[in-house]
Amino acid sequence: MADLARKPQALGARPALLLIDMINAFTDPKSPLGSESDAVVAACADLQTAFRSRDLPVCFTTVVYSSESQAAVFRQRLPALNALSEGSAAVEVDARLSPRASEPVFAKHYASAFFETGLQQWLKGQAVDSLVVVGLTTSGCIRASVVDGLQHNYVVWVAEEAVGDRNAEAHEANLHDMHAKYAEVVSVNDVRDAIGIVS
């Protein structure tokens, strides 16, 4: 069955860059949660620099647990998540993408960047009208955050080179799904062009 007809959507006048879970636990291939993601880190860094140069909002998420009761069912299903303990190096943003003091890191317990975090309030305070979502992983936290971004009435773009997944087939399938229904899946250069960065 063919995908539904869809109309392309442009970024607004004030997009934010949302870097999902670019933390050591996910970017280190030696971590049980990690994968080889150097190319994704580099693409994220490219967009981070571009957004900063245009003085556009940049923010991050991490996954962190400080008690056994937090996301207990999720962690029971995926025991590797127990490595994401508060205060550990695992939950810190990869040093190649270090946040500035003005760039918040929202701690979450589940997949979506919006669920029980302060992200939506911060975006409203920054007068954000659209999102560019990047990070890890495509089939999990990226997809959940993209769907919730749409459900919060943002135009959402996903920069294809700046997202990754441990499972290549899941990565491709979810990029297809997101582009068909929830977001524009575009290139890093498309994002740079949209915010006025000359390549």
- Domain spans in the chain, listed from the N-terminal domain onward: 15-194
* pLDDT surpasses 70 at 199: no
Q: Write the pLDDT tens digit of every residue in 78-135.
A: 999 999 999 999 999 999 999 999 999 999 999 999 999 999 999 999 999 999 999 9
146-175: burial string, b at 16+ Cβ within 10 Å, e else: bbbbbeeebbbbbbbbbbbbbeeeebeebb
pLDDT of residue 92: 98
pLDDT of residue 197: 85
Q: Write the pLDDT tens digit of every residue in 163-179.
A: 999 999 999 999 999 99
Domain 15-194, second-level architecture: 3-Layer(aba) Sandwich (3.40)
* pLDDT surpasses 80 at 1: no
Which residue, among 106, 180, 192, has the nearest Cα to 143 in the 3D structure? Answer: 180
H-state helical runs in the chain: 24-27, 38-53, 72-77, 119-125, 143-151, 168-181, 188-194
Catalytic residue chosen out of the listed positions 141, 156, 188, 191? 141
141 is catalytic: yes
Residue 22 contacts residue 60 (beta carbons within 8 Å):
yes
pLDDT of residue 67: 95
Q: Write the pLDDT tens digit of every residue in 48-76.
A: 999 999 999 999 999 999 999 999 999 99
* pLDDT surpasses 90 at 36: yes
